[in-house]
Chain A
Amino acid sequence: MTGVGRDGQQSSTPQTEAPTDQTDSASALRHPTGGSDRLRRGGGRGRGRKGKVESVVPEAEFTSYYGRPIVKPSPWEHDIPAYLFAGGVAAGSSLLAAGADLTDRPSMRRSGRLGAIAALTFSMVALVHDLGKPSRFLNMLRVAKPTSPMSVGTWILSFYGPFAGAAAASEVLSMLPGERKGVLRLAEVAGRPAGVVAAVAAPAVASYTAVLLSDTATPSWHEAFRELPFVFVGSAAAASGGLAMVTSPVAETGPARRLAAGGALLELVMEQRMERSMGVTAEPLHHGHAGTLMKAAKALTAAGAVGTLLGGRSRAVAALSGAAMMAGSACLRFGVFEAGQESAKDPKYVVVPQRQRLAEHGPTRFPA
């Protein structure tokens, strides 16, 4: 009972090299067409999903080694989705802060710069906390590896961080009473160029995290690679716009509302497309804890976007909508994270997509 598709139709495995002198019964042996004698009781047939009844699609049949996982889930804990969320908030906030600075919106500039540095600090703490050996964080900086999204991300953050920090420092200085002289004055006026550089680097901060997840063997992360960057930048825009709507007066936050609503729309649309292109690996996005988080993410983001568009000029509605979109973004990151972890623990999400690929295209071979 190998490699049976979701529709329950047999697609046993013709990919092994065909011996030349294959007799009929040999081929029956190698290409079983069903029969309970082929059920691998010992070899472990696919487990059914415990207590799942909502699906009318027949369960995918697959073979595994006693239902044990094939790939390993990442050892990452909740620091990582928190880091993804905070990184998105930081990136979007830097963009809004630079725009606010250039268009004379002092309150939104302040909330953007300070929000960015707070979120960045939080995300760095989360990241370092997650390392098995936190004392060795600096080992990341001993190489620059284009094939490692974590290495690339570290370098992106190392570039972005100081500029975001300089912009925030300038903001703090400008909040102090009196005039500044010398170096401090310099630090204060450096805020604008630093903020602009941070804003140019910021989109990479928001989108690389999608590659960070996708460049793994974790089925529900890898299979999402086509759309996940768009989902994540949409989520970053919604969350950072939301933060500005919470912290700044409506007179200044027109751009934040537009960014947030646009981001929410992008996130929702691309998330739908992502699920469609993921095949069976989209399932974990609907099950269990991850499913709850993803439902909450969609509801909160959609509600926030609607609130923004309809009542964004009211301070209370704006703040509420902004908070909803921030919460939606956080739920999305945690939901995607957990769905991936679950997908790695179930051999189904490794075997079934690979079997489907084999049935449709044959084994993966480098084009000669």
Chain B
Amino acid sequence: MTEARISPNAFWGPLDPSADAGYDDDRPKRKGFFTDTSICIGCKACEVACKEWNDVPSDHFDMTGTSYDNSHSLNANQWRHVAFIEQPVRPKQTVDLGMPGRAPAYVPGLPATGADPDPVGAGAPAPIDTSDLLGSMLAEAPGSDGGSASADSMDFRWLMSSDVCKHCTHAACLDVCPTGSLMRSEFGTVVVQDDICNGCGYCVAACPYGVIERRRGPDGHKNVGIAQKCTLCYDRLTAGQTPACAQSCPTQSIQFGDVEELRERAEARVAKLHEAGVMDARLYGNDPNDGVGGTGAFFLLLDEPEVYGFPPDPVVTTKDLPEMARKAATAAGVLLLGAAVSFLGRKP
């Protein structure tokens, strides 16, 4: 694959990344994730499934002392990361949601009582029946389960969110990689080729979300010195399977599918939540006109992005690259001219 192609929106702006990378028309549709954090229960099944399937080594599991987060961040050895945020609850809610303090615990994507025929979504996850889930969300009154602590006494809420590589439309990691190790797959995802990466580390500094990292560790261990991150389970995709993390998610907080379809599903979900009075719900990364051209993995959040450790307005660094190149060329010209001028005049 030649990397030198420059299309009009090559540096930023909406485009179809796999078409831009030169895949022809019978390529598969772009794949990605819609992570609906409002129904994440923080079970970490995705983290575990990812490690198991991709043989990602464990490292430094310990409590941070600030929350129940024991895996810290996305990094070379952590391709999924579940953030836990303990937060004082809002003073007022427009609509009584029942138990605002435990909103995420409702698992509204699932029928209220048992009998989900396909809880892990062996195929593509079925679109969530939002009318039903909102019904259950609003219907269940505090304490209706009989005897648990009254929600009124809770003055905090938990936000949980499973973070992952965003598989950006304009992926800075891929753009800056000098070896071509990072490549765009036919699914529109961004994948490291372990045997080509020379460990220069440029992608690490370029990612606006702090996802990719060079694996540290004793020499001889698997892929030490090589940049590592989520592959969107490239091997499973080529076999027509769902990525391990989405497959294992018990609440369908992680929904895998065609990006276009997921975007519509996400719009519908956020509209429903707004209707139900959850005004904090917002989408993050779904807009193809945003600073990275939209992300393949995008999110529904219940608070500002930075609360979850996301940059509030990420922009791919290559957006400014043409101007950087112009400045550098001008500076080079200044140096050449300056040197020439220094030699003018008579010898001392």
Binding site for B on A (CB under 8 A): 2-3, 13, 15-17, 19, 21-23, 25-26, 28-30, 35, 37, 39-44, 62-66, 68-76, 91-92, 95-96, 99, 102-103, 105, 130-133, 136-137, 139-140, 142-151, 154, 199-200, 202-204, 206-208, 210-211, 214-218, 221-222, 225-230, 232-233, 236-237, 250-251, 254-256, 258-259, 262-263, 266, 313, 344, 347, 350-351, 354-355, 357-358, 363-366, 368
Contacts of A256 in B (CB 8 A): 342
Q: Is the CB of B309 within 8 A of A65?
A: yes
- A210-B328, A225-B320 known; A154 and B178 CB under 8 Å? yes
What is the distance, in angstroms, from A157's C-beta to the closest C-beta of chain B?
A: 12
Query: Given the complex of chains A and B, what is the CA–CA distance between A221 and B90 in angstroms?
Result: 38
Query: Given the complex of chains A and B, what is the CA–CA distance between A17 and B335 in angstroms?
Result: 48
Q: Is the CB of B90 within 8 A of A71?
A: no
Contact of B338 among A17, A65, A70, A262 (CB under 8 A): A262
Q: Is the CB of A229 within 8 A of B206?
A: no
- Judged by a CB distance under 8 angstroms, whether B91 is at the interface is yes
Query: Given the complex of chains A and B, what is the CA–CA distance between A217 and B323 in angstroms?
Result: 16
Q: Is the CB of B88 within 8 A of A237?
A: no
Q: Is the CB of B304 within 8 A of A133?
A: no
Q: Is the CB of A208 within 8 A of B318?
A: no
Q: Is the CB of B210 within 8 A of A71?
A: yes
Contacts of A96 in B (CB 8 A): 339
- A13-B304, A42-B156, A76-B201 known; A217 and B334 CB under 8 Å? no
| Residue count of chain B within 8 Å CB distance of chain A | 109
Contacts of A65 in B (CB 8 A): 83, 85, 306-309
What is the distance, in angstroms, from A144's C-beta to the closest C-beta of chain B?
A: 6
Query: Given the complex of chains A and B, what is the CA–CA distance between A153 and B338 in angstroms?
Result: 22
Q: Chain A: which residue is nearest B307 at the CB level?
A: A43
Query: Given the complex of chains A and B, what is the CA–CA distance between A366 and B9 in angstroms?
Result: 10
Q: Is the CB of A142 within 8 A of B180?
A: yes
Query: Given the complex of chains A and B, what is the CA–CA distance between A42 and B327 in angstroms?
Result: 43
The residue in B176, B213, B333 that gathers the most chain A C-beta atoms within 10 A of its C-beta is: B176
What is the distance, in angstroms, from B88's C-beta to the closest C-beta of chain A?
A: 6
Chain B, range 290-348, C-beta contacts under 8 Å to A: 290-291, 293, 303-304, 306-315, 317-318, 320-321, 323-325, 327-336, 338-343, 345, 347-348
What is the distance, in angstroms, from A127's C-beta to the closest C-beta of chain B?
A: 9
The proximity string for B residues 1-22 relative to A, scoring 1 for CB distances below 8 Å and 0 otherwise, is: 0011010011111100000000
What would 4 more interface pairs be, CB under 8 Å, given A99-B342, A148-B202, A354-B312? A65-B307, A74-B201, A140-B179, A214-B320
Chain B, range 66-124, C-beta contacts under 8 Å to A: 66-67, 69, 72-73, 75, 83, 85-88, 90-94
Query: Given the complex of chains A and B, what is the CA–CA distance between A233 and B318 in angstroms?
Result: 22
- Judged by a CB distance under 8 angstroms, whether B249 is at the interface is no
10 A–B contacts from the bound complex (CB under 8 Å): A21-B274, A65-B309, A72-B75, A92-B339, A136-B199, A147-B175, A215-B321, A254-B348, A255-B343, A259-B342
- Judged by a CB distance under 8 angstroms, whether B214 is at the interface is yes
Contacts of B201 in A (CB 8 A): 74-76, 130, 132
The proximity string for B residues 202-236 relative to A, scoring 1 for CB distances below 8 Å and 0 otherwise, is: 10111111111110000000001111000000000
Q: Chain A: which residue is nearest B273 at the CB level?
A: A19
- Judged by a CB distance under 8 angstroms, whether B280 is at the interface is yes
Contacts of A37 in B (CB 8 A): 88, 90-91
- Judged by a CB distance under 8 angstroms, whether B130 is at the interface is no
Q: Chain B: which residue is nearest A241 at the CB level?
A: B342
Contact of A222 among B13, B67, B320, B330 (CB under 8 A): B320
Q: Is the CB of B4 within 8 A of A66?
A: no
Q: Is the CB of A26 within 8 A of B279?
A: yes
Contacts of A148 in B (CB 8 A): 175-178, 202
What is the distance, in angstroms, from B178's C-beta to the closest C-beta of chain A?
A: 4
The residue in B88, B92, B341 that gathers the most chain A C-beta atoms within 10 A of its C-beta is: B88
- A99-B339, A147-B10, A147-B318 known; A70 and B177 CB under 8 Å? no
Contact of B206 among A154, A216, A233, A254 (CB under 8 A): A216
What is the distance, in angstroms, from B172's C-beta to the closest C-beta of chain A?
A: 6
- A150-B178, A210-B328, A237-B335 known; A363 and B290 CB under 8 Å? yes
Contacts of B156 in A (CB 8 A): 42
- Judged by a CB distance under 8 angstroms, whether B238 is at the interface is no
Contacts of B274 in A (CB 8 A): 19, 21
Contacts of A15 in B (CB 8 A): 313
Contact of A150 among B13, B75, B202, B328 (CB under 8 A): B202
Query: Given the complex of chains A and B, what is the CA–CA distance between A40 and B14 in angstroms?
Result: 35
Contacts of A266 in B (CB 8 A): 334, 338
Q: Chain B: which residue is nearest A44 at the CB level?
A: B66
Q: Is the CB of B87 within 8 A of A42?
A: yes
Closest 5 CB pairs of A and B: A132-B199, A132-B225, A65-B309, A42-B86, A203-B332
Query: Given the complex of chains A and B, what is the CA–CA distance between A152 and B325 in angstroms?
Result: 11
What is the distance, in angstroms, from A277's C-beta to the closest C-beta of chain B?
A: 12
Contact of B4 among A146, A202, A227 (CB under 8 A): A146
Q: Is the CB of B331 within 8 A of A230?
A: yes
- Judged by a CB distance under 8 angstroms, whether B196 is at the interface is yes
- Judged by a CB distance under 8 angstroms, whether B198 is at the interface is yes
The residue in B11, B210, B342 that gathers the most chain A C-beta atoms within 10 A of its C-beta is: B342
Contacts of B304 in A (CB 8 A): 2-3, 13, 63
Contacts of B202 in A (CB 8 A): 74, 148, 150, 216
- Judged by a CB distance under 8 angstroms, whether B282 is at the interface is yes
Contacts of A208 in B (CB 8 A): 328
The proximity string for B residues 55-71 relative to A, scoring 1 for CB distances below 8 Å and 0 otherwise, is: 00000000010110100
Chain B, range 264-278, C-beta contacts under 8 Å to A: 270, 274-275, 277
What is the distance, in angstroms, from A292's C-beta to the closest C-beta of chain B?
A: 23
- Judged by a CB distance under 8 angstroms, whether B289 is at the interface is yes
Contacts of A237 in B (CB 8 A): 335, 338-339
